[in-house]
């Protein structure tokens, strides 16, 4: 018999994404029976009003994780590597927002609008939430990628400082008022930083390779993909330029209606303001490619803390609930 309510845990509950988990679960009326909030020792015992009651923040060390149906992880890679398997071992479905398990062959990497079916059989396992830029860039392709025969994709992302968490936001505000940066290597307030993450052996950064490898896994693709990721002085919402080469000629006048759906809204000239706080991405600047004989280009914006993180994770849980007869 299908459950009516679920026991949830939020790991990293006092951080930027953790707070978005709480806010979004509440706004979407997720069927929460009980909730447990976990964070670092400095937040232990802190009171947080969530789900209609005062909850005390717990630490992960030497704790009991039994009886949890869904565990939403938003505390970073190391915490996920150390504790997500323990939650899963105790029967929870772990939905992890970090990069810890994304490229693990046995771990589903899920964007529900594209490959939601990958969640099946996930009871007691870990599901990876894709990188924020990957989610935002791919969502407008959900309805068309299978039928248009993509041969190549080039991404260029313009990523808000909230992608670095509160430390990124604080650095933007600090440098706007003339103080030296404490997190970024440069003053980000009137600047762009074409390096997100460390460089890898091939010269691309970790963030760029996330977009490349995650796109291949989500789309089950073997075509060439390239990405350039740039940090920009915007507090929230990423913008991404996408150019795709296709097998056959594309009629871009028809693409707008084919690409638009409830998770991807068409706006002729999308900006970050159009997506801030929204549960959908906005795409536009749709045009025929000049670089490829057959292909098209578009620009998409999305709230990296919502559809790019917390919302997508919660939609994964909702997909499981709506498509599974019994959980737990």
Our CA angle for 324, 327, 328, nearest 5°, is 165
Pair 77, 217 in one domain: no
Of 29, 229, 237, 238, catalytic = 238
Pair 113, 19 in one domain: yes
How many other CB atoms sit within 10 Å of the CB of residue 154? 19
Whether the Cβ atoms of residue 294 and residue 246 lie closer than 8 Å to each other: yes
Pair 198, 315 in one domain: no
Pair 283, 179 in one domain: yes
| Active-site residue, 229 included | no
Pair 94, 168 in one domain: no
pLDDT in tens, 177-217: 999 999 999 999 999 999 999 999 999 999 999 999 999 99
Low-confidence ranges of the chain (pLDDT < 70): 1, 121-124, 325-328
Pair 73, 222 in one domain: no
CATH number for the domain that contains residue 98: 3.40.50.720
| Position 1 in a domain | no
pLDDT in tens, 82-132: 999 999 999 999 999 999 999 999 999 999 999 999 998 666 699 999 999
Of 29, 132, 237, 272, catalytic = 132
| Active-site residue, 238 included | yes
Our CA angle for 128, 131, 133, nearest 5°, is 150
CA dist 184 and 165 (Å) reads 12
Structural domain range at position 209: 135-304
Q: Is this prediction's pTM over 0.85?
A: yes
| Number of structural domains the chain divides into | 2
| Position 207 in a domain | yes
| Position 142 in a domain | yes
Our CA angle for 82, 93, 49, nearest 5°, is 85
CATH number for the domain that contains residue 243: 3.30.360.10
Pair 158, 300 in one domain: yes
| Position 18 in a domain | yes
Pair 148, 17 in one domain: no
């Amino acid at each position: 018999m299908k459950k009516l309510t679920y026991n949830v845990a939020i790991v990293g509950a006092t951080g930027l994404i953790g707070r978005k988990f709480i806010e979004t679960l509440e706004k979407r009326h997720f069927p929460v029976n009980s909730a447990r909030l976990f964070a670092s020792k400095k937040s232990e015992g802190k009171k947080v009003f969530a789900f209609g009651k005062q909850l005390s923040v717990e630490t992960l060390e030497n704790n009991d994780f039994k009886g949890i149906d869904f565990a939403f992880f938003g505390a970073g890679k190391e915490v996920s590597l150390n504790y997500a398997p323990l939650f899963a071992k105790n029967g929870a479905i772990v939905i992890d927002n970090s990069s810890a398990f994304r490229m693990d062959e046995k771990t589903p990497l899920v964007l529900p609008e594209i490959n939601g079916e990958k969640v099946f059989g996930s009871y007691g396992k870990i599901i990876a939430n894709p990188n924020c830029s990957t989610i935002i860039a791919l969502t407008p392709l959900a309805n068309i990628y299978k039928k248009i025969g993509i041969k190549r994709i080039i991404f260029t992302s313009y990523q808000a400082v909230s992608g670095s968490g509160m430390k990124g936001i604080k650095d933007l505000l600090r440098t706007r008022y003339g103080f030296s940066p404490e997190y970024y290597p440069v003053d980000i307030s009137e600047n762009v930083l074409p390096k997100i993450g460390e460089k890898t052996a091939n010269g691309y950064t970790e963030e760029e390779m996330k977009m490349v490898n995650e796109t291949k896994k989500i789309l089950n693709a073997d075509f060439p993909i390239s990405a350039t990721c740039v940090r920009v002085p915007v507090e929230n919402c990423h913008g991404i330029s996408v150019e795709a080469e296709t097998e056959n000629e594309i009629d871009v006048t028809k693409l707008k209606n084919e690409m638009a759906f409830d998770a991807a809204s068409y706006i002729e000239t999308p900006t970050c303001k159009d997506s801030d706080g929204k549960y959908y991405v906005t795409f536009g600047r749709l045009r025929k490619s000049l670089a490829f004989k057959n292909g098209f280009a578009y620009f998409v914006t999305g709230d990296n803390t919502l559809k790019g993180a917390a919302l997508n994770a919660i939609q994964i849980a909702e997909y499981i609930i709506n498509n599974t007869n019994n959980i737990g």
